Amino acid sequence: MSRGLFLLGAIIVGISALLPGQSARGDTYLSFELANDVFYLPTKTDQYFTHGLKLEFGKRGSKTPLLLASGGATTERYWRLTQNLYTPREIEASYFVENDRPFASYLLVTRGKSFTDDQLGFGLRGEFSGGILGRYSGGGRMQNAFHDVLSFADSLPGWANEVKPDVLLNYDLQVSQRFSVSSRFSFTTTLIGQLGTLYTNLAPELKISWLVIRTNDNRTLSFDLFSNAKLVAYDATLTGGLLNRDERYRGKIRPKRLVSLFGFDGVIDLDKLQLSGGLRHLGAEFSGGLPHAWAWFSVGVQPGKSLDR
């Protein structure tokens, strides 16, 4: 089922890229996102998903869709650099602890494209990613360097037991449909699929959106509340890569096949500047594991965005 979904998405994305419909000049944007479980106050844990960085650069544009009879569509083409770090609950352990997460990190480069029909609320997003899992991604060195700066944090010897290096190739697809309840409230259903050597899973999602303040198109405040249930087939951060198998963890860590995720986000648009942040609560990902929470924030700029619409 998932393979058929990915194939269908790739065909649709490819067709939409080739269709000649009328396009407007795009707006270039840049965003930086930082996530960490220490931001989740007052808990401030340092375990499981512990740190993440994202840098995204792209262009938003508009076009007249030819497959759907509506007024217009928004498109995005972008590059993204992602680094994520994962640590066990017993973060100071220098040996493998049974029923605990291994040390793991990865570095990914992503090329993505999205299409959203502004009138019908239909959205499609496809992404191809490539990168490296393990010590060459720099996660362990970065965390230990950060801990060296802090007087209250020690270096973590357990990074020597990080999952083995491996090549990562992944394709992600999201198909969504937005339903407007009023000018300020809407809900969106989404099907999210991932296939590759990093993650292979499928997740239906429901999101509720509330536009709190809108002084004009460029000055808004909005909130999103969402939840999904992920059907997990494979997670390289738990058991190591597919190509360079890590027998230390494979079979010893038993990933859960159904994992829940809840999130709350807020977004402030101030002309060219966008400030956003949110909270995540993730259910237990493996047998013996615990639920986990973290927070994130992002700063984005859109130099090409018009200020007089």
Residue 70: per-residue pLDDT: 55
Instruction: Tell me the whole-structure pTM to 2 decimals.
Output: 0.86
Query: What are 164's two structure tokens?
Result: 């083995």
Residue 261 structure tokens? 């995720």
pLDDT at 13: 46
Per-residue pLDDT reduced to its tens digit, 137-153: 999 888 877 766 665 56
Task: Give the dihedral sign, CA 55/300/184/177.
Answer: negative
What's the CA gap between 44 and 42, in Å, rounded?
6
List, for residues 190-230, the tens digit of each pLDDT value. Answer: 999 999 999 999 999 999 999 999 998 789 999 999 999 99
- What's 93's DSSP letter? -
Separation CA 282–CA 227 (nearest Å): 10
Structure tokens at 208: 């509720």
Domain boundaries, the chain: 2-301
User: In this predicted structure, what is the pLDDT of residue 99?
Assistant: 80
Q: Cα–Cα distances in Å, from 247 out to 179, 225, 250?
A: 47, 39, 5
Architecture of domain 2-301: Beta Barrel (2.40)
Report, as an integer, the average pLDDT of 163-188: 96
Q: Determine the Cα–Cα distance for residues 103 and 248; give it in Å rounded to an integer.
A: 12
CA–CA distance, 68 with 64 (Å, rounded to integer): 9
Residue 298: its pLDDT value, please?
A: 97
User: Mean pLDDT over residues 60-70, rounded?
Assistant: 67
Q: Can the peptide bond before residue 65 be classed as cis, meaning omega within 30 degrees of 0?
A: no
Do residues 254 and 239 make contact, with C-beta atoms less than 8 angstroms apart?
Answer: no
Give the separation between CA 259 and CA 134, rounded to whole angstroms: 24
Enter the tokens of residue 274: 């966008």
Write down the pLDDT at residue 148: 67
